[in-house]
Structure 1
Amino acid sequence: MEGEILDNIMGEIEFKQVEFAYPSRLENIIFKDFSLKIPAGKAVALVGSSGSGKSTLISLLQRFYDPIGGDIALDGVPIYKLQLKWFRSQMGLVSQEPTLFATTIKENILFGKEDAEMEEIIEAAKASNAHNFISELPQGYDTQVGERGIQLSGGQKQRIAIARAIIKAPKILLLDEATSALDSESECIVQEALDKASVGHTTIIIAHRLSTIRHADLIAVVQDGQVTETGSHDELMGNEMGLYPMLVQLQHTEQEQVKEKGDKDLSINAIDINDASSHRLSLASRTSSANSVAANHSSLCEEMNVEDKKLPAPSFKRLLAMNLPEWKEAILGCLGAVLYGAVQPLSAFTMGLMISMFFLSDHGEIKKKAKVYALSFLGIGLFSLIINVIQHYNFAYMGEHLTKRIREGMLSKILTFEVGWFDQDENSSGTVCSRLAKDASVVRSLVGDRMSLLMQTISGVTLACVMGLFLSWRLALVMIVLQPLIIFSLYTRMVLLKSTSKKAIKAQQDSSKLAADAVSNHRTITAFSSQDRILKMMEKAYEGPRKESVRQSWFTGLGFGSAQFLTACIVAFNFWYGGKLISQGYISSEALIQTFLILVSTGLVIAEAASMTSDLVKSSEVVASLFAILDHCTRIGPDDSNGYIAEEITGHVVIHDVDFAYPARPNVIILKNFSFTVEAGRSTALVGQSGSGKSTIISLIERFYDPLKGVVKIDGRDIKSYNLRTLRKHIALVSQEPTLFVGTIRENILYGALDETDESEVIEAAKAANAHDFIAGLGNGYETWCGDRGVQLSGGQKQRIAIARAVLKKPTILLLDEATSALDSKSEKVVQEALERLMVGRTSVVVAHRLSTIQNCNLIAVLEQGKVVEKGNHSSLLAKGSTGAYYSLVNLQRKTHNSTQSFK
C-alpha cells in the first residue's frame, strides 16, 4: 500500500534498457538492454516466435517480477515507486490461458470490478459475446463454472475472462492471445469489442495471428529478447528483408492454400454472416425434447451420490487389519502401554508414602526414608522413559506405515476415477490434495493413539483399583462407585466436541479448496488486485460454521463447567468420608492419603483419555471421508479384468444415437441422438462454434465420460467392453490447454512412452514437434525444470512439448483439440506439417477453429449445438455455396483475416 498514486494517468509506458532472467533460471537471460516506448492511448502489438519474451514483458509490467537491471516507467515515473495495488488496478489482463475460479459466472466477472451492478455485468458479457450462451444455461449468471472453469468450453472461458477485463474499464489493456480460444464468429465479434474497449486506452496486444493486429498503431517485432523492428504495418511491410514481412508471408501462404483449394469449386462472393443462421438448432426446442432424459439422469445421479455419502465410518477392526504387517510392533507397543499404565498408580502410591513420612517425629528416620523415596521416584522416571520410548516408537512405526499405505491406496484409487467425479465441487483438486496431505496422516492417531490410550487406561485403572481395595477397601469402594459420575460428565463433553468437530471439518475443507484455488490462480488474483476479495470469500466460507461454533460453545461451556463442579463435589465428599473412617479408627491417615492419590490418579487417567477423545472424534470424521474414497466404486474403471485387451486396433470409431450431459449439469443436454463415424486410418475434423460439442466428442472417444444413451464403438466393439488402460495406450490426446507436470522437459515427454525409450527417440519426438531447437537453447536442455503446470515455459513451448509427448506414443488414434492454438505462425506451420505426417495412416480427430489447419482432412463435420449439420471434404462443403454452414464459417474467417489479402 506504500508508494505514489498519480492523479492523472496518460498511459505512456517505457522499458529502459531492461535486463531480466527468471529467478528459477538466472543463467538464461531473457532480456538484455531491452528498450521499447509505448505511446499513451495507442495500441501496440508485440509479435514474434514463441519464447521470444512477449508474455514476459506483460509479467514485468504488472510487477510479477522486477527486472535485474534497467527501469520500467509509467508516465515517466518508475513503476516500483507507484503504489502496487493502485497501479495494478489501472490494468486489465486477458491472458492466453483463461483462469476462472470455482464459483459462479457472475462472481468471476466481478473479479474485474467488485462493486459492479448487474447491468454492468450484463453489458460486459454482451461486449465479449458471452451473454447469449450464459443466458441459455439453466442458472444463467449463477451457473457454477467448476474448478478452473472445467464446466465450460475453452471459448466460453475466454469470453468470461474478457468480460472480466472489460468491466474494469482499465487505463491500460493487456491482451495476451485474448482470442486464441475462440471460433471464427466469436473471434470476429470479440475482436470488434476489444477494438472498441481499447480506443483511447494504452493497449498492449500479443498475437500470433498477425491479421488481428494489422491496424495497431505500432507493431514491435521481438526476437531473442530484443526489439528487432518497430513501425506500423505498412512501414514494416516496406522492408522486404525484415522479419515481419516474412512472418506475414508465412501466414498469407496458409490463407492462400485455403483459398486456392476452395476456388476450384466456386468463387467467393460477398460474405453474409447470417447465412449460417438457418443451420442453427434452437436450444429451447432441444432442451424440451430432452427433458425426460435429463430428469432420468438427474435422479440417477442423486441416487448414486446418496450411496456415496451414506458410507459408514471405518471400523477399528478394519484399520487394525490394514496394520497387520506390523503385528510385532503392535505387540511391543501394547506391552509398553500396559507397563506405562502402571506408572501413575505407582507414582501416586510413592507420593502417599512421601507425604506420610513428614508425620514422623524422628528426623533421622525422615531423612532415611526421604532418600529411599527420592530414589524410588528416580527409578519410576527412568522406567517411564524407557517404556515411553518403546511404546511411542512402535506405535509411530505402525502409524507411519498405515499412513503411507492409505496415501498410496488413495492416490492409486483416485487415478482410476472417472472425470465426472472430479467435476463435483466436493472433489476439487484442493480438497483432494488436502485429504492426501493432511487427512491421511490423521489415521495414525486412530490406531496408535487409540491402542496406546486403551491399554494405558485398562492397565492403570485395574492396578489402581486393586491397590485401593488392598489399602482401604471401604473408602476405595465409595470412590470407585462415584467414578461413573465423572465418566458421565466427560462423556457429555465428548459428545459436544463431536458435534462441533463436524462443522469445523466442513469449514476447513471449504477454506482449503478456496485456498488451493487462490494459490494456483495467484497470477490472476495479483493482476486484478483481488486479494481482498479472496479474503472476503474465505471469511464468507467460515461465516456459517463460525456462528454454529459460537452457539455450540455455550453448550460446551455448560458441559465443561458441570463436569468440573461435579468433580470438585466428589473430591469433597471423598475427604469427608475418609475423615469419618479415620475418626472411627477404620483407616490411618497414611492409608487415606495413599488411597485418595491412587484413585484420583485413576480419574486423571480417565480424564486424559477423555481429553484425547476429541482428537479421535475428529479423526473418525476425517478418516470416514478417506475411506469413502477408498471404497468408492468408479463408474469408468480403467483396469477391468474382464475387459477385452486390445493388443492392436485399426481405429474405426462409431458414435451411435448418443445422448450426453455432463454429470455436474445433468439438465443441460450437450448431445441428443448424436451419430457419427470416424473411418479407420483417415483424418476427421470437427468445426463449429465454441460450446457446440466438439471437445465433448473427444471426451467420449477417450471414455472420460459415458453417454446417457447410445453407444461409442471402436473397431465394432462397445468401448465399455474394453480394458480401458490397454485401449488408451493406442490413443494420444493433445488438448487445447497443454498440461505439463512438475518435472523436467524429458520427464514430461516420457509420459507418452509405453516402453523403455532411449534418448534418441525423445529427441526425434521433440524435433517432430518443432520443440528440439528451443529446448537445446535452454541452459539445462532436456533437464530444464518445467515448474508447476509448466509455468516456466511459454504457451507455445508447453504446447510443443505436449505434442512431442503424443508423437512419442505412436498412437493408432490421434485426438487433437486445438493442438496448434498456442503457436506462432512459423511454429504452427512446422508443427502442422509434423502433425500431418503423424496423421498419415492413423485415425485422427481434429478440433480446430482455424479452418486452414483442417482443410486437408478426409472428412470435415460441422457441428451446431450438438448436431452434425454438414459433413464432407473441404471442396464438397464449399461447393454447397452460401446455403452451407461450412461456407459461412470459411467466409467469416476470411472476413476476420481479410487483411491478409493485401499482405503480398
Structure 2
Amino acid sequence: MELVWPERGLFLLAMTALLINAVAQMAAPFLLGRMVDRMHSHPDELLVTVMQLLAAFVIGSFCVFVRANAFLAMGYRIVTTLRTRLFHRLLQQDIAFYDVSKTGDLTGRLASDTQALQQVLTAQLGQLLSNLLQGIATIVMLFLLSWRLTLFMMTVVPFVALGVSAYGRFVRQLRQQFQHRLAETGAMAQEAFANIRTIKGFGKETLMERVYAERNTQCLHLGETISFATALFQGLLGFVPQVAILLVLYYGTTLVAAGSLSSGVLTTFLLYTLTLAMSLAFLASLVGEFAGALGASARIFELLVRVPAIPPAGSGGVRLPRFDGHLALQNVAFSYPGRPNAPVLEDFTLTLRPGQVLALIGPSGHGKSTVLHLLQRFYDPTRGRVLLDHTCPLSKVDLRWYRRHIGYVPQDPVLFDGTIHDNIAMGWADDEDDMDAGQDRRSGDAAHRRAASVREVTRDAVIAAAQTANAHEFIMEFPLGYDTPVGERGLALSGGQKQRIALARALVRDPRVLLLDEATSALSSDAEAAVQRGVARASAGRTTVVVGHKLSAFKDADRCAVIVRGRVVELGSHDELMDKARTPYGIYRRLIEKQLVSADQRKSVPVSPRSSRD
C-alpha cells in the first residue's frame, strides 16, 4: 500500500474507467436480449437499440484505453520505486550478509524478480480487476434475470474454486523454485565472465559450458513442469464453462417451453453466461502469472525487511568534536559469520597512535586483514571492543562520519567503469560529510575545506591526490590524461597503475586514518617501488596501518606488530625487533633474515647469454 499511495491519482482514474467499462459491458447483452424480444412486436425501436449498443461499445473501448494506460503507467512507476528501494536496501546490508549471499542471486532479485512483478502490475493488474469486476457484475445480472437458472449453472463453481486454489499453490511453489534456479544460473555466468582470464588460461571453457548447461537444463525441467500444469489447468477450465453453457441451454429451453422464460431473456442469459465464462477463463490464465509474482515478491520483500546486524551509514550516532586518529582494539575476539567455529582473533589488543605508521606482519590467514575490517566496522567483534580516542566505542559512533576519516586501499583494488578522474573522485566525501567533518581537518588543508562547499570534487583536488600517490606522471602520459577510460574493473591498466589510482582515491578525501592491505604484494619491483613512494608520501602526518609480507612494506614503519594465530606476539620498531639481545628467537627477525638471504641468492644467480639477449 505504501508503494501504491503515491500513485493514487492514476489508480482512481483507472478504477473509474474500469467501472464505466463494466457498466458498458453489462449493457450490451441486456440490449441484445431486448432486441430479440422486440424484433417482431416493436421493429421501429431496433435502430434506437442499435445506436445504444454502438454508444456502449464506444464508451467501453475508450474506458479500456484509459484503464490500460493508467495501470501501465502506475505499474512502471511502482516497480521503478521498488527497484530503487531494493537497491538502497541492499547497499545498507552489512558485509556479513554479502559473505553468505551470491552476487548473481542479488542481481537476479533486482532484475528478474522485479521484472516479474512489473509484468503483473502493468499488463495484468488491470485485466485482473476488470475481469473480476465484470464477473461479479455478470453473476448479479444472472440472478436478476433468473435465479433458478443461475443456481442451476452455479453447481460447477465449487469444483472450479477448488481447482484454482490447488493449481495456484502448486504453481507458486514451482515458480519460486524456478526463480531460485534462474538466479543461481545467472550467478554462475556472472562469475565466469568476471574470471574469464582464469578460465581461458586453464582451458576450462568446456567445463564451464557443461556446468552452465546443466544448471540451465534444471531451469528447463522446472519450466516444462510449469508449462504442463498451466496447459492442463487451462484446458480443464475451458471445458467447465462449456458444460455450464450446455446446462443453461438444456434447463433454459425447458423454462421457455413452459412459458416461465422468454426467448429474449434466455438469449441475454446465454450472453451473460458467455461473458462470465470468458472472465473466468482469463482469470484462470492469470493464476500462474500471479503465483510467480507472489514468489518473486516474497524474495524481494525478504530483503526489504531484513535488518542489518551493523546499522548502515547515516543511521546516526556519536560524532566526536575532534578525531586525531587514535584507535585501539582491546581484548578483541572475532570469528567470521560464515565460520563461527573458526576464531580468527583471540584476546587481540593493539593501539594505533596518531600520525604513526603501524605495520602488521605475519603468516597468511592469521588475522591481519581482519584487523582492517574491524577498524572499518565491516564487522563487530564477538568479544572486546574497538575504541576511538581512548574512550568512545566504535559501535556507538556515526559510521558515515567515521568512515569519512578512513582511507582504504585493498590488496586487489577494484576500479569502476569510467575515467581515471571518476575513479579518484569516488573517494571524495559528499556535502553532508564534508560540512560535518570540515571543522576538524588539519589546519594546513584550507584548500580541502574550501572544496567541501562544492558538490563535486574539483580537478585540482584529484590531481593533488594523484601526485601524492605518485600516479600523476603516468596518468599524464595517456593521450586523454585524467579523462582516460579505465575499462571494466580497471582492466585497461596495469596492477601498479590500479594500485596508485586506488591510493589516490583513498587520499582525495584527506583521511585521518589510512589502511593499506598488502598494496604491493603482487607487483613487479618497479611498480612496487612506485607504489611505495606514493605510500610514503601519503602516510606523512596520518595514522597508517600497513599489512604486508615484504621488507619494503614495513621497514620504515614506526612500529611493527607480528600477528600469529590471531594474537600479537611481537610489537616494536624495526630496530627493536631486529635486536638479537631483545628478541633472540624473534619471529620478525627470522622473517627479515629469510628475505635478505633470498634477495642475496637472487643477486648471485649468473645471467646466461640467452637471458641477457632476451
Say whether the 8 Å CA contact 2:417–2:485 is kept in structure 1. yes
The SS at the match of 2:417 is coil
The SS at the match of 2:508 is helix
Number of residue pairs aligned between Structure 1 and Structure 2: 577
Say whether the 8 Å CA contact 1:646–1:727 is kept in structure 2. no
Residues 530/387 of structure 1: CA separation in 2 closer, same or farther (3 Å cut):
farther
- Report the counterpart of residue 81 of structure 2 in structure 1: 405
- Aligned mate of 2:251, from 554, 565, 577: 577
- Report the counterpart of residue 770 of structure 1 in structure 2: 470
Listed one character per residue, the Cα deviations across residues 705-762 of structure 1 (whole Å, up to 9, x for unaligned) are 1111111112122110111110111110011011112222111111122233322121
- Report the counterpart of residue 422 of structure 2 in structure 1: 747
- Aligned mate of 2:398, from 723, 748, 753: 723
- Report the counterpart of residue 173 of structure 1 in structure 2: none
- Report the counterpart of residue 537 of structure 2 in structure 1: 837
Aligned pairs (5 A) from 1:762-801: 762-801=462-501
- Report the counterpart of residue 419 of structure 1 in structure 2: 95
AA partner of residue 893 (structure 1): Q
Deviation, 1:822, is: 4.8
- Report the counterpart of residue 590 of structure 2 in structure 1: 888
Deviation, 1:436, is: 1.7
- Report the counterpart of residue 651 of structure 1 in structure 2: 325
The SS at the match of 1:897 is helix
Say whether the 8 Å CA contact 2:104–2:184 is kept in structure 1. no
Normalising by structure 1, we get a TM-score of: 0.59
Deviation, 1:809, is: 1.5
Deviation, 1:544, is: 6.2
AA partner of residue 436 (structure 1): L
The SS at the match of 2:354 is coil
Deviation, 1:696, is: 0.8
The SS at the match of 1:395 is helix
- Report the counterpart of residue 323 of structure 1 in structure 2: 4
AA partner of residue 530 (structure 1): K
Deviation, 1:477, is: 4.1
Deviation, 1:899, is: 4.2
- Aligned mate of 1:735, from 399, 410, 419: 410
- Aligned mate of 2:371, from 697, 711, 715: 697
Residues 566/459 of structure 1: CA separation in 2 closer, same or farther (3 Å cut):
closer
- Report the counterpart of residue 532 of structure 1 in structure 2: 206
- Aligned mate of 1:391, from 41, 53, 67: 67
The SS at the match of 1:534 is helix
- The reply on whether 1:516 has 2:190 as its aligned counterpart is yes
Say whether the 8 Å CA contact 2:145–2:265 is kept in structure 1. yes
Say whether the 8 Å CA contact 1:742–1:790 is kept in structure 2. yes
- Aligned mate of 1:878, from 565, 575, 578: 578
Distance in 2 separating the partners of 1:612 and 1:632: 30
- The reply on whether 1:337 has 2:18 as its aligned counterpart is yes
The SS at the match of 1:733 is strand
The SS at the match of 2:261 is coil
Listed one character per residue, the Cα deviations across residues 637-669 of structure 1 (whole Å, up to 9, x for unaligned) are 134655111353122221122111111122221
- The reply on whether 1:666 has 2:345 as its aligned counterpart is no
- Aligned mate of 2:352, from 678, 684, 709: 678
Deviation, 1:866, is: 1.7
- Report the counterpart of residue 111 of structure 1 in structure 2: none
- The reply on whether 1:857 has 2:538 as its aligned counterpart is no
Residues 473/503 of structure 1: CA separation in 2 closer, same or farther (3 Å cut):
same
The SS at the match of 2:408 is strand
Aligned pairs (5 A) from 1:151-230: none
Distance in 2 separating the partners of 1:546 and 1:834: 53
- Report the counterpart of residue 610 of structure 2 in structure 1: none
Distance in 2 separating the partners of 1:786 and 1:352: 73
The SS at the match of 1:415 is helix
The SS at the match of 2:361 is strand
- Aligned mate of 1:489, from 138, 163, 182: 163
Deviation, 1:675, is: 1.7
Residues 714/870 of structure 1: CA separation in 2 closer, same or farther (3 Å cut):
same
Higher relative contact order (CA 8 A, sep 6+): 1
AA partner of residue 663 (structure 1): P
- Report the counterpart of residue 268 of structure 1 in structure 2: none
- Report the counterpart of residue 441 of structure 2 in structure 1: none
Residues 793/340 of structure 1: CA separation in 2 closer, same or farther (3 Å cut):
farther
Distance in 2 separating the partners of 1:874 and 1:867: 19
Say whether the 8 Å CA contact 2:327–2:388 is kept in structure 1. yes
- Report the counterpart of residue 435 of structure 2 in structure 1: none
Listed one character per residue, the Cα deviations across residues 5-33 of structure 1 (whole Å, up to 9, x for unaligned) are xxxxxxxxxxxxxxxxxxxxxxxxxxxxx
Say whether the 8 Å CA contact 2:374–2:381 is kept in structure 1. yes
The SS at the match of 2:92 is coil
- Report the counterpart of residue 273 of structure 2 in structure 1: 599
Instruction: Tell me how large the CA RMSD over aligned residues is.
Output: 3.1
Deviation, 1:704, is: 0.7
Residues 380/894 of structure 1: CA separation in 2 closer, same or farther (3 Å cut):
farther
Deviation, 1:351, is: 6.4
AA partner of residue 780 (structure 1): L
Distance in 2 separating the partners of 1:421 and 1:868: 29
Deviation, 1:870, is: 1.7
Distance in 2 separating the partners of 1:541 and 1:345: 50
- Report the counterpart of residue 180 of structure 2 in structure 1: 506
Residues 901/323 of structure 1: CA separation in 2 closer, same or farther (3 Å cut):
same
Residues 759/586 of structure 1: CA separation in 2 closer, same or farther (3 Å cut):
same
For structure 2, which runs of at least 5 residues remain unmatched after alignment? 430-451, 607-614
Greater shift after overlay, 732-741 or 573-582? 573-582
Say whether the 8 Å CA contact 1:445–1:616 is kept in structure 2. no
Deviation, 1:511, is: 1.5
- Aligned mate of 1:714, from 379, 384, 388: 388
Distance in 2 separating the partners of 1:548 and 1:453: 27
Say whether the 8 Å CA contact 2:408–2:506 is kept in structure 1. yes
Residues 560/470 of structure 1: CA separation in 2 closer, same or farther (3 Å cut):
closer
Deviation, 1:411, is: 2.0
Deviation, 1:382, is: 3.8
- Report the counterpart of residue 289 of structure 2 in structure 1: 615
Kindly indicate which of the two structures has a greater share of residues assigned to helix. Answer: 2
Say whether the 8 Å CA contact 1:738–1:802 is kept in structure 2. yes
Report the identity percentage: 31
Residues 769/529 of structure 1: CA separation in 2 closer, same or farther (3 Å cut):
same
Greater shift after overlay, 784-793 or 328-337? 784-793
AA partner of residue 16 (structure 2): L
Say whether the 8 Å CA contact 2:333–2:343 is kept in structure 1. yes
Deviation, 1:692, is: 1.7
Distance in 2 separating the partners of 1:510 and 1:437: 13
Aligned pairs (5 A) from 1:82-93: none
- Report the counterpart of residue 308 of structure 2 in structure 1: 634
Distance in 2 separating the partners of 1:464 and 1:574: 15
Listed one character per residue, the Cα deviations across residues 27-63 of structure 1 (whole Å, up to 9, x for unaligned) are xxxxxxxxxxxxxxxxxxxxxxxxxxxxxxxxxxxxx
Greater shift after overlay, 752-761 or 525-534? 525-534
Residues 774/351 of structure 1: CA separation in 2 closer, same or farther (3 Å cut):
farther
Listed one character per residue, the Cα deviations across residues 233-287 of structure 1 (whole Å, up to 9, x for unaligned) are xxxxxxxxxxxxxxxxxxxxxxxxxxxxxxxxxxxxxxxxxxxxxxxxxxxxxxx
Distance in 1 separating the partners of 2:25 and 2:542: 76
Residues 528/596 of structure 1: CA separation in 2 closer, same or farther (3 Å cut):
farther
Residues 531/372 of structure 1: CA separation in 2 closer, same or farther (3 Å cut):
farther
- Report the counterpart of residue 135 of structure 2 in structure 1: 461
Aligned pairs (5 A) from 1:19-168: none
Say whether the 8 Å CA contact 1:656–1:712 is kept in structure 2. yes
Normalising by structure 2, we get a TM-score of: 0.85
Aligned pairs (5 A) from 1:242-257: none
Say whether the 8 Å CA contact 2:234–2:285 is kept in structure 1. no
Deviation, 1:545, is: 6.6
